[in-house]
Amino acid sequence: MESGSPGSPAPQDEGLALDEQRLMWREVEDEVIVLDKRTWTYMGINGSGAVLWKEIAGGASVAQLVECLRATYGIDEAAAARDAGAFVEMLREHGLLAAPAE
């Protein structure tokens, strides 16, 4: 499987990046507010999603997201991997992640 193909999962050790050209975001209290500049839609991300968003903004890998969820919420690795994977996939579906560097 090619690592850069659309819909393929990011390798566990590859750092993720937000598509800063497409979006603007701000942290407001415990929520992250995101504006998609192409569609002028916005979303509010709270709870574990806000925690993961800030980690991705710092260049975290999927493996680091899993560990962050485990440490923050005390959940097992399988649940953390499922939740982190679902969040990353949602960001991909909305086009909010930058394309991986080749």
Domain boundaries, the chain: 23-93
What is the C-alpha to C-alpha distance for residues 23 and 79, in angstroms, rounded to an integer? 29
Check pLDDT > 60 for residue 6: no
- Note the pLDDT of residue 13: 67
- Note the pLDDT of residue 100: 77
- Note the pLDDT of residue 12: 53
Helices (H) then strands (E): counts for the chain: 3, 3
Choose the CATH number for 23-93 among 1.10.8, 1.10.1060, 1.10.10, 3.40.50. 1.10.10
More confident residue, 51 or 10: 51
What is the C-alpha to C-alpha distance for residues 6 and 75, in angstroms, rounded to an integer? 29
**Residue 52 — very low, low, confident or very high, per pLDDT cuts 50/70/90?**
very high
